Amino acid sequence: MFHTSHIEISKSAYKNNIKYLRKIIGKETRLSSVIKGNAYGHGIDHIISLAEEAGIDHFSVFSANEALDALKLKSELSGLMIMGLLDYEEIAWAIQNRVEFFVFDPGRLEKAINIAKSINKKARIHIEVETGFNRTGFEYRYMPKLINFLKKNREHYTFEGLCTHFAGAESISNFVRVKNQIKMFHKFNRYFKRHNLFPLRRHTASSAATLTYSQTIMEMVRVGIAQYGFWPSPETHMYRFRKNPSESNFLRRIISWKSRVMVVKEVEPGEFIGYGTSYLANKKIKIAVIPVGYANGFSRAFSNTGRVLIRGRRVPVIGTVTMNTMTVNVSDLPNVEKGDEVVIIGKQRRLSISVSSFCEMSEQLNYQVLARLPANIPRYIVK
Ligand SMILES: *Cc1c(COP(=O)(O)O)cnc(C)c1O
C-alpha cells in the first residue's frame, strides 16, 4: 500500500548466479560484489544481505558516499572498496573505518599516507594503473616516483590490490585494445615485483572480462551486472553458450518490477490518447492506465514502444509516458479490471519481459534502466 509499484528480488536466482560465477572463477579467486548505483537499482540493503548469505565477503562501490551506506549494512568481516570518488576530507574517515580505496594519482596517494601517519593507522590502498582505458590510473612513466614513494612509506599502508579496468571487454570489436591492456597490466606487475612490492590481490576483470577472458581472472574479480543475472552483452552470452552449451545454471535475472491497473476505460475511434497526438484510436479501444511513469523509472522513451504483461498477455504502451502514468492497450483482454497485476519486468504466467527486451526498444542499456530505478520503490526479497 501507499506505493504505485514494487520490486521483487529473487534469492534463488541470486544464489544461482553466484554459483555460476564461482564455477568460472574457481575457488582461489575472491569475488567482489559491485554494488554501486544502489546495487544497479536492485537496492543496496537487500543485495548486501543476499550476497553475504551467499558467502561473498567483499564489496565495491564508486564513492565515499556509497561506502558510508554500505558500511552500515555489511558485516564487519566483509571488505569494502571505493573505486572512484573520495575527497581529501573523506580519506581520514575511510582509513579509520578500514575502507579500502583506489589510488590513481599522486595527490590522493600522498594525502592518504600523510593522514595514515597522523592518525597512526594504515591506509588500505589499491593501486590502479593506466593500461589504456584512459580514465583513471597511474601512468607507466610515473612508476619510478611511485615505487620510490611506496618504498619510503611501507609502514603506513597495506598494498591491498593492483588493478586496472578494461575498455569494453563485452565486445569483440575491442579485442585488440583489451589484449594490449592485459599486456600492459603485466608490465606494471613485473615492475612492482622487481622492487619487491607485492599486492595482496591483483584484480582487473569486471563481468565481461570474467566471462570471456579467463586470463584476466587473478586473485580477485569485480563483478557487477552478471551477479544480477544480466549478460554484459549478447556476445558474452553467446561466448559462454558456445563454450559449454550444456551448462545448466546460466545467469538468471533476479529483479521483477510490478504494479497494478489503476483505471480501465473505453475510447472512441478518432480520439487521441494522452498528451499530444502520438496515438490515434482508429477504432473503439479499451485502455488501462498504470500508475508508473518516467518519475518512477519508466523512461519516456518507451512511449508507443514499451510492453507490459497483464493477465498473462503482452500489451503495448500507447501514447506518451507521463511523469506518473503510462497507458496500455488492453482491447484484447476482455476481463481486465482495476487492481490487476501489471508486470513491467519479470514473468507472468508463461510470458516474461526482460530488461534488455524493453531496452532494445529504447536503445538503452540494461545498466541504465536498472540504475534509474528510483530508490523509493519498495523492494522485497522473494524465494
Ligand atoms: C562498474 C565497475 C565494475 C563492474 O562492472 P560490470 O560490467 O557491471 O561487471 C568493475 N570495475 C570497475 C572499476 C567499475 O567501475
Question: DSSP letters along 89-102, please?
Answer: HHHHHHHHTT-EEE
CB 176 within 8 A of CB 166: no
* pLDDT at 186 exceeding the cut of 70: yes
pLDDT at 354: 83
Same-domain pairing of 173 and 37: yes
Distance between Cα 367 and ligand 1 center (Å): 11
Same-domain pairing of 144 and 162: yes
Same-domain pairing of 101 and 199: yes
Q: Determine, yes or no, domain membership for 229.
A: yes
Same-domain pairing of 224 and 268: no
pLDDT at 248: 66
Looking at 226, 247, 268, the residue that finishes a domain is 247
Q: Determine, yes or no, domain membership for 53.
A: yes
Q: Determine, yes or no, domain membership for 173.
A: yes
Q: Determine, yes or no, domain membership for 277.
A: yes
Looking at 198, 230, 247, the residue that finishes a domain is 247
Round to the nearest angstrom and report the end-to-end CA distance of the chain.
21
* pLDDT at 365 exceeding the cut of 80: no
The per-residue pLDDT of the chain, averaged, comes to 94
* pLDDT at 1 exceeding the cut of 70: no
CA distance 357 to 232: 14
Looking at 247, 282, 305, the residue that finishes a domain is 247
Q: What's the pTM? A: 0.94
Classify the C-alpha dihedral 151-157-160-166 as positive or negative: negative
Distance between Cα 356 and ligand 1 center (Å): 18
Which amino acids bring their CB within 6 angstroms of ligand 1?
A: 34, 36, 83, 165, 206-208, 222-226, 232
Same-domain pairing of 194 and 286: no
Same-domain pairing of 131 and 78: yes
Same-domain pairing of 74 and 220: yes
CATH number of the domain enclosing 270: 2.40.37.10
* pLDDT at 144 exceeding the cut of 90: yes
Strand blocks (E) in the chain: 5-10, 30-34, 58-61, 79-82, 100-103, 123-128, 157-163, 201-203, 220-223, 255-260, 263-267, 285-290, 307-310, 313-316, 326-329, 341-348, 351-353, 379-382
Q: Determine, yes or no, domain membership for 224.
A: yes
Average pLDDT over residues 354-372: 70
Same-domain pairing of 208 and 264: no
Domain containing 323 equals 255-382
Q: What is the pLDDT of residues 156-178, one digit of tens each?
A: 999 999 999 999 888 888 999 99
For the chain, the farthest-separated pair of C-alpha atoms sits apart, in whole angstroms, at: 80
Q: Determine, yes or no, domain membership for 3.
A: no
Same-domain pairing of 222 and 342: no
Same-domain pairing of 47 and 95: yes
Average pLDDT over residues 56-85: 98
CA distance 220 to 213: 14
Q: Give the residue, out of 30, 34, 59, 218, with the most ligand 1 atoms within 8 A of its beta carbon, to mutate for a pocket test.
A: 34
Q: Indicate the pLDDT class of residue 251, thresholds 50, 70 and 90.
A: very high
Same-domain pairing of 94 and 212: yes
* pLDDT at 2 exceeding the cut of 90: no
- The H or E element containing residue 360 is helix 355-362
Q: Indicate the pLDDT class of residue 117, thresholds 50, 70 and 90.
A: very high
> What total number of domains does the chain contain?
2
